[in-house]
Amino acid sequence: MPQKSLTDSAPERATARTTPPAASPKRWWILAVVALAQLMVVLDATIVNIALPSAQADLHFSDGDRQWIVTAYALAFASLLLLGGRIADLFGRKPAFLVGIVGFAAASALGGAANGFGMLVVARALQGVFGALLAPAALSLLNTTFTDARERARAFSVYGAIAGAGGAVGLLLGGILTDALDWRWTLYVNVVIAVAAFAGGWLLLSNRRDATTAKLDVPGTILVAAGLFSVVYGFSNAETHDWGSPLTWGFLIAGAVLLAAFTWWQTRAAAHPLLPLRILLDRNRGASFLAVLISGAGMFGVFLFLTYYLQLHLGFSPTKTGVAFLPMVGALMVMAQLGTTVLLPRLGPKTVVPLGFAVATAGMAWLTGIGVGSSYASAVLPQLVVIGVGLGLVMPSAMQLATGGVAAEDAGVASATVNAMQQVGGSVGTALLNTLAASAATDYLAGKDPSSKLVQAQATVESYTTAFWWSAGFFAAGALITFVLHRRGVPQQDPEAAPVVHM
């Protein structure tokens, strides 16, 4: 159901029907700038994780505090994404993009220079704040810059590949920087990337405000920010406490109530909704949002627990662990290009996205065959390639469909919704898989000698394979849900829906 821009006049609409919108001559350079900015945001989800032990030893904080280095970023990023997307729509994507880059780089520099735990947590939270402004601005720039169907597919194949593979690249880069330099460079590296992205954005982008008649929905912003904060915080507490803790179920209930109130406000009371209902009503778009959510949850079964297995059982260094994920990254990038430019235009999302989930399910199920004495070449490498093929079909296609056909004045908030789904999915997946893995290890040790190193090792592997089975279950559910929800046929993009931004 393509959306019409509220700002288009009748003569402009008549012209759009007869004359295809002119493509920006700088569009491929813009793609490079947007890709750099997206890489910076996505890297931060995992690049710091590998450096945490080194940072902990340097700054002398406890194991319990260590979780807050990750959680502070996730809380700020997830809760402010919709606000960041709407700011880009209301005040222009160029200033939102540039302010997001500068703020993210400054927060990264602050974190790299941290002299204590508190300073590092504040820096990570500020990274999340500016990332919530930068990420939707970057994605919406793609949506409004590329209007030709084939070129748009190619652009989203690049963006989706970065979104899907960025976590693995973060592991590699984090390992290299930590081993060769210092943990602080996992944060300082963002400054280097930001300089190039800012220069390109300043030179190539021009400001355009599409939502000129809309106003910021303050009550909606407060409700959704508080709701998303509560959900992510509740799932984070499930990792560090347990599901019976009031800090877990209390915040999860509060989040559900706040998000329900936000939904009511958007549909019944808001004069200028933060998340217009027209964005969610399209079946293909709704299915794509769910696909991003499920992918985010299931991917942690690969990145988190496989990282543990490679380092603790196979003895890989941080750098070697990152290199071990590269075959998956390569498969994902190849299939991202093939899926969005060849398969999706010919077969449609009802075939491509469920197929990708099915392939990822098979890869995850295959990965459960790891053991204490397994080798990387036979028990990990081919499985990673299969998983990469599956996710390469899902992620870029889902991101393209989730933002396709959206009116230009809604491009920022639609893009923010994609990022929010990925972030919430990751938080849900981390909490659930950690809990299930811990329970599996405890169950395995029941009635056995816990002092035996072999028994302990096998219990740990049992926890990993349990997480892999559940990740396979997530992907299988994604295959079923997207097959049911996606419409048949190939979606057609209305050239009026996202008019080109002339740079």
What would the DSSP string read from start to end of 254-301?
HHHHHHHHHHHIIIII-SS-SS-HHHHHSHHHHHHHHHHHHHHHHHHH
The predicted pLDDT at position 6 comes to: 39
pLDDT interval class at 69 (50, 70, 90): confident
Query: For the chain, what is the mean pLDDT?
Result: 79
Q: Give the residue-averaged pLDDT of 451-477.
A: 88
pLDDT interval class at 496 (50, 70, 90): very low
CA 287 to CA 294: how far, in whole Å? 11
The predicted pLDDT at position 189 comes to: 87
Question: Any idea of the CA torsion for 427, 429, 41, 160, to the nearest 10 degrees?
Answer: -140
The predicted pLDDT at position 410 comes to: 66
Q: Give the residue-averaged pLDDT of 414-423.
A: 76
The answer on pLDDT for 153 being more than 60 is: yes
Q: Which residue has the higher pLDDT, 138 or 269?
A: 138
Q: Give the residue-averaged pLDDT of 1-5.
A: 41
Place of tokens 């944060």: 187
Nearest-10 crossing angle of helices 326-338, 381-403? 40
pLDDT interval class at 359 (50, 70, 90): very high
Give SS3 for 355. Answer: helix
The predicted pLDDT at position 387 comes to: 93
Q: Which of these ranges, 19-23, 144-148, 166-170, 361-365, has the smallest mean pLDDT?
A: 19-23
The predicted pLDDT at position 471 comes to: 92
Model pLDDT for residues 254-295, shown as the tens digit of each residue: 988 998 888 888 777 666 677 777 777 778 888 888 998 898
Place of tokens 């997207």: 482
Picking from 30, 117, 126, the residue whose alpha carbon sits closest to that of residue 72 is: 126
Q: Give the residue-averaged pLDDT of 239-268.
A: 81
Q: CA-CA distances (angstroms) from residue 156 to 159, 217, 341?
A: 5, 29, 9
Question: Any idea of the CA torsion for 76, 81, 82, 84, to the nearest 10 degrees?
Answer: 100
CA 254 to CA 3: how far, in whole Å? 33
Model pLDDT for residues 98-108, shown as the tens digit of each residue: 999 999 999 99
Q: Give the ranges where 269-410 is alpha helix by DSSP (H).
A: 277-281, 283-312, 318-324, 326-338, 344-347, 349-367, 376-379, 381-403
pTM for the full predicted model? 0.75
Q: Which of these ranges, 114-118, 214-218, 296-300, 331-335, has the smallest mean pLDDT?
A: 214-218
Tokens of 170: 């973060």
Q: Which residue has the higher pLDDT, 426 or 492?
A: 426
Q: Which residue has the higher pLDDT, 321 or 494?
A: 321
pLDDT interval class at 330 (50, 70, 90): confident
CA 142 to CA 144: how far, in whole Å? 6
Residue type, 88: A
The predicted pLDDT at position 24 comes to: 61
The answer on pLDDT for 304 being more than 80 is: no
What is the DSSP code (8-state) at residue 409?
Answer: G
The predicted pLDDT at position 173 comes to: 79
- CB neighbours (10 Å) of residue 191? 16
The predicted pLDDT at position 15 comes to: 38
The DSSP result for 119-162, as a single string, is HHHHHHHHHHHHHHHHHHHHHHHHHHH--SHHHHHHHHHHHHHH
CA 137 to CA 63: how far, in whole Å? 35
Length of the chain, please? Answer: 503
Tokens of 259: 């998000």
The predicted pLDDT at position 301 comes to: 65
Question: Any idea of the CA torsion for 467, 469, 475, 479, to the nearest 10 degrees?
Answer: -160
Q: Which residue has the higher pLDDT, 392 or 448?
A: 392
Q: Give the residue-averaged pLDDT of 4-29.
A: 49
Percent of the chain with pLDDT over 90: 15
Tokens of 495: 């050239």
Picking from 277, 278, 315, 236, the residue whose alpha carbon sits closest to that of residue 68 is: 236
The answer on pLDDT for 14 being more than 50 is: no
Place of tokens 């509220």: 6
- In sequence order, what are the residues at sequence separation of 6 or more whose Cβ sits closer than 8 angstroms to the Cβ of residue 95? 207
The answer on pLDDT for 444 being more than 80 is: yes
The predicted pLDDT at position 12 comes to: 39
Give SS3 for 502. Answer: coil
What is the DSSP code (8-state) at residue 23?
Answer: P
Q: Which residue has the higher pLDDT, 54 or 338?
A: 338
18 burial via Cβ count (<10 Å: 0-12, 13-18, 19+): exposed
